[in-house]
Chain A
């Protein structure tokens, strides 16, 4: 089978997000970059599906030239092919992103044949627009279900599990299909040394990204205000235990 995974390069902030002086971007001067954990799991799932059923996996991203790093990371854990849709900024609006990804997929499928399964993250880590995968699937006239935490494949049919407040929902799809994956579907492996060396050599295909602006345009980023709390120190080490238990009683947790 042929599986495609779409990932987005995002900064990896730690304790705090700092914004650039113009308010238009995250200050990434001291930050590493990554993809959403949902997408990391989608990549791992693609690799596992190919290990189990045979075939070929491809990773695709629309982003700055530096997003090459995220493509090669996916290759280092076992994805076979990589495609970059280079853009001049860190991101495009979700409609525009979806349109560009759709036409790239159509182009790839016209020469190489259709993907049986396309995996997206449930939502991107930074923007969290909750829509790029849905728009692409609709444009390709393929079914999509989001929030997937389990996939079983049997010939052309696919069973996908999703968690809800009430329990687990099961969806039964026929491929070609598209799924939005959530972290927890698997435990992503770490790249091996051999995998890392191999990923340096793969050729990253380039597709020109072309699409019209969408109706949602970012104006600025603002830090969400957090009330400054004065932390009450209950003490140091095990000697603090009586103070902690006093607190548990005071809060009505220990009755």
Chain B
């Protein structure tokens, strides 16, 4: 009885969520193995051992030198057939979900995405998130090998030293699987992004226009943060979708989120709820964002934001 953790990495750089998947695996079974795809990931064995992997199955193949959902999914499917684990799991990231879905399709097995807890019997009882995290679903999972991904932040990564013994696993990949391998890349310049910024100034429908975001930009720049927005804003074409916070946008986790003129619909909230503190600025004291926030100012954002900026400049002299 083993649990196999499918390790997500980008050309050898480990995705931190993979360590959460290892932590989750240890709650399911004491014997945890890891699977790394591509030679570039060989160097990860020690770290995976530190986080509880007794054996690290390493797959080498020409088609695994960069990410390709089909080549990765087929490799996972072959690993499951060869190793027969009770469960194979990965992290609930875009890649993790895609690769496990590919493996499930190839194995003709069910696959449960974004799981937060598992209780085992013949038929597993699994809890997973729906609506991006606003709703939980209890479901049963019946399968020879249980395929799942774990929801981000549901398990905390922690060390639990195990051998981390490397072992070679051979797969046969049809050359046609090259059809979905990354062919080109544009690397992002290093810097603060919406997802990693310590401060986000968010604007909603009440901001009113693209130009009216200038005071929010000014305040964010003054505090070394970035501007985010709601879907009402992107839908109006006032800002690019890369600035959208929420279920179908970016999930943020700043020290402070200043939500200005945003009502706090659940689909926005799931993207903002990992913020350490939230300050709502809203004319409506009953707005959902106000009741859920740690702090609130009741008033017109067009007056409150410039006043905050002026006060900062005044104190700085």
- Does chain A bind chain B? yes
Nearest CB of chain A from residue B316's CB, rounded to whole Å: 9
Nearest CB of chain B from residue A231's CB, rounded to whole Å: 5
Q: Given the complex of chains A and B, what is the CA–CA distance between A200 and B193 in angstroms? A: 44
Partner of B310, one of A38, A187, A241: A241
B279 touches A223 (CB 8 A): no
Prevailing SS type, chain A contact patch: mixed
Known: A165-B10, A241-B308, A244-B311. A215 touches B183 (CB 8 A): no
Stretch in contact with the other chain, from B41-49, B78-86, B162-170, B287-295: B287-295
A173 touches B187 (CB 8 A): no
Q: Which residues of B contact A110 (CB under 8 A)?
A: none
Q: Does residue B69 face the partner (Cβ distance < 8 Å to A)?
A: yes
Q: Which of A14, A134, A144 is the most central at the interface, judged by chain B CB atoms within 10 Å of its CB? A: A134
A interface bracket (residues with beta carbon within 8 Å of B): 35 or more
Q: Does residue B61 face the partner (Cβ distance < 8 Å to A)?
A: no
Partner of B101, one of A127, A134, A184, A187: A134
Q: Given the complex of chains A and B, what is the CA–CA distance between A86 and B67 in angstroms? A: 38
Q: Which residues of A contact B23 (CB under 8 A)?
A: none
Q: Which residues of B contact A245 (CB under 8 A)?
A: 308, 311-312, 315
Q: Which residues of A contact B187 (CB under 8 A)?
A: 166-167
Q: Which residues of A contact B114 (CB under 8 A)?
A: 128, 130
B106 touches A138 (CB 8 A): yes
Partner of A223, one of B113, B135, B280, B292: B135
Q: Which of B135-169 contact A (CB under 8 A)?
A: 135-143, 149
Prevailing SS type, chain B contact patch: mixed
A235 touches B132 (CB 8 A): no
Known: A127-B137, A224-B134. 6 other contacts (CB 8 A): A130-B98, A174-B179, A231-B280, A239-B307, A244-B308, A248-B312
B residues lining the A interface (CB < 8 Å): 10, 13, 15, 67, 69-70, 73, 94-95, 97-98, 101-102, 104-106, 109-114, 125-127, 129-143, 149, 179-188, 198-199, 223, 225, 231, 234-235, 237, 240-242, 244, 247-249, 255-256, 263-266, 273, 277, 279-280, 288, 290-300, 303-304, 306-308, 310-312, 315
Q: Could you pull out 27 A-B pairs where Cβ atoms are within 8 angstroms?
A: A13-B266, A14-B263, A14-B265, A14-B288, A15-B288, A17-B266, A125-B248, A128-B114, A130-B98, A131-B101, A134-B104, A166-B187, A167-B188, A170-B186, A171-B180, A173-B180, A183-B249, A216-B126, A221-B135, A229-B294, A231-B292, A232-B296, A235-B298, A237-B300, A247-B295, A248-B312, A251-B256
